[in-house]
Structure 1
Amino acid sequence: MTPVRTLLEIPELRLRLRTGAGLLDREVSRIYGTELPDPSRYLSAGELVLTGLLWWRGPGDAEPFVAALSAAGSAALAASGADSGGIPDELVTACARHRIPLLEVPFDLSFAVVTERVVLALAAERDEVSGARKRLRSAAAEHDSLPALLRHGAGELGVPCWVVSGTGRVVAGSGPELDQPVPLARRFLAGDGRVAVPGSYTLLPAGGRALVPWLLVVGDPHAGSSALAEELAGLVELDRARTEQVRRVADRVAAPLLRGLGGATLTENELSNGLSTAGLPTDAPLRVLLARTAGTRLSVELLTELLAAYPGRCLVGEIGSDACALVESRGWPEGWAADMAAALSTVESALPAGRVLIGAGGPGTAAGLRGATQEARHALGMAERGPGRIAVVSGEQVGAHRLLLAGAPDELRSSLRARILGPLLDYDRAHHGDLVHTVRVFLECSGSPAAAAKALHVHVNTLRYRIARAGELLGLDLTDFPTQVDVYLALRSAGS
């Protein structure tokens, strides 16, 4: 283990001590990143807790966060205020009160660098480093892939290992297919961060700074106290931080393209060039996904996680305050909406408060990509109006008439309603009638008098009389299909 003061002496980190000068001899056993307002269930004694303060919204937020660190026996807190305008004074005060050393991370320093340097410092300070741990660190230093790292770890531990995300997705593994990863993820999220599954596995946190946690599954229920298993979990965190840093850099090319989809002026040729630069096909259909949660960063991370196992090329970025993904339509699964909702429900307990909404549009080529984006936005609106904390809606569920009407200006929809339905609306107002409602039910029953009469609880002859009377007032034949379409659109233009 490494004293906190040693971390302050690492020149590359440029850490600044804000409080806790008399506590620098505390030993750091590992590093854990979190943005949860209450991280207590994932904390362990001796950890250096790393945070970007995304959980801090205003006065009163610091006290419960720091109290959780104190109760868990955390060694120190390292915080960056890049997104919040600096370290809040109340966080400094809370750390002093709870005797938690507070280290300020420079705003221009990547958390991936901090994690890597701390992990290496922890490794270098251990008194007795076994050959197995040296070999693991060597594999990580050589930037082996995660599956290769797990194979190294499994070989040293003598048991298979897997990495599973909080949604239940198996990220990588060294052995046979993992049995029931979703229940394991749920058990991990409901536990204290380290869970022994009797007769089966040990679950260790390996999430790094990400909001969607990862866990290392070791095929030995007694591996929780193994220094080598802890080492492997730390290296998995490091690998994830590196990979996400690379992905964020790669996805920056999406920013101009997504701004174009969000309303900026781009020609079809510029959209095609943007797709080509991003590695997406210009002549094959793409789907557009929009996600809205408590924060844009969380939305981006959730979309990235949900699309991680998808075989096609995906590009994830932001449109305004929503996350946006462009996805190759090739191989798109039929039950994607149910699959996404199930994955989100698995990780729901680990997410900040608020709803999780996803809408999808398309598929469409470059020429129709803006339309697919509008379709996704209307699907997102439908998800927002629906019940439940988690809602996933596709454009197909919205209905073509709603999409067409949603794209029409308010003045046009009002004019359409007044021109087609005016006489009927006037009649109902003057006679306190309900012919407008009768016509709508009739059309929603596919023009069937028997079905409409049953729905309205009237005799079929009464229904026929009312429809005939409505037709006279409108000067239209309500049994004619094109006329029915016009009238129905007029009815839906104002939500009638």
Structure 2
Amino acid sequence: MNAGIPVRWILSQPELGLVLKGGGDGLGRAVTLVLTSELTEPQQWMSGGELVLTTGMGLPLSRPDRLRYLQDLYRAGIAGLGFGVGLSHETVPEDLVEAADQCGLPLFEVPLPTPFGAITKKVMQRLAEQEYEKVLRASRAQPRMTRAAIQGVRAVIRELSAALSATVLVVGADGVIAEAHPRQPAVEILDRIREFLATRSDVVGSGAIQLPTGQYIVLQAITAGHTVHGYLAVVTAGAIGSVDQVLLGHASSLLALDFEKPARLRIAQNRLNSQAMAMLLDEPGDPDIMWQHLAAAADRTGRVRALVLRCASAPVARQALETVDAQLHPQNRQLFAHLTGDRVAVLLPGSDTDATAEQLLTGIPAEVRATLRAGLSAPHPLRRFNVAIEHAELAASAALPGARPLELAALAGHALLAFPEAQRVLSAVSEAMLQPLVDYDERHGTDLITSLRAYLEAHGQWETAANALGVHRHTLRSRVAKIESVLGCQLDQALVRAELLLAVIARR
């Protein structure tokens, strides 16, 4: 479920010396962030779940305004208010305590020796521990669900129910409940699921329903290819987090295997591979089981390359991914891919070449291939596959539409000018640095820009640059002196020469 620390846990840390003053009914409110604010109206900057710390410097002076101050924070959804004493206030104002009791918002005293930073550090450490615990729980639950798949659907949803502490249902495509654990939910929950599916007949992914009670119903389609066999529904007390979504997706994949058995094993395997990539890309921690799963993507030396395809649209990206899978299938190779909108990232063994990558794109319709830009990374150790994807993404951004996959290493010598963002920056810098010289050439009919470039490309070697221009070195010295005078710089400094060379190249 979503991360959060009850206010009562923070108050229970003896080294902080915090003392509850009011709002004891709200000690279960969950803290997701700690903020310090001395604003008179801080509520407009809150989004919910914050623990606000203040010394009261911005606290309103009148009793009604203080009541409104606390009520506004409560309505903004903050988890609690910590009041530092010993600076602007010796004690927590009594009217603030009364207001906290009225609305049930925890209000506690922070003694002068306790820095706000100590509270923030304590909370952030606990939140990090929770995130790690979630990843660890998922890494332990996934193999249990996988083993349970041998026994069938009922065993899989039993394990998922235990892992999420939730009610889990398998709903057929016709809306009929096929399985439920630990028990059938209330009739109103079943009705909401059927209503949702009736209005979303095109659902092939997931969806969520929030009930008036605060519960959530999360649905995940059980699919194989373009066939929707049914839905996995989870009824929880609150919204589920990304790690729990991975468990839900894993269970869905296992159920797809049960529906389609070996004929669709590859589709489910691809999904598992994608989920392993997504989990390692998006979640903190180091779940060994995910790395073990991803090891099949590497070559014998444990290295992988990333192939990134930047497509014209999300449907085109899905079509390109299906084509890559179709090319891998006859070779008995698994697909390890991550699809995000109009971008596809595919992991290949480090021993694959750009020719191999180009072969994978065979079969994409010519009109689609003409719009697709492909980038290929150098081989990287498996545990740095995210870096490989980043490099391939950069190469794809510089690649020409329809061209062979561009390797990032092939950009050496002109990488800065290969990316539109860098081009814009360098063009602006070029104009700012060289405009005085351009103006001088126009007024006097000279060509100092050309002389400057020859001098810079010769690394300041007079004879080499003069020969390239076809002039005597003394003539070139005279021109360089004039350039230094016009630009107000000294070209005997390496950093100045480097910046000017970039500017001259960008101007071209």
For the aligned pair, the TM-score class normalised by the smaller chain equals 0.3 to 0.5
Relative contact order higher in (CA < 8 Å, ≥ 6 apart): 1
TM-score by length of 1: 0.38
Compute the TM-score of the two structures, normalised by the length of structure 2. Answer: 0.38
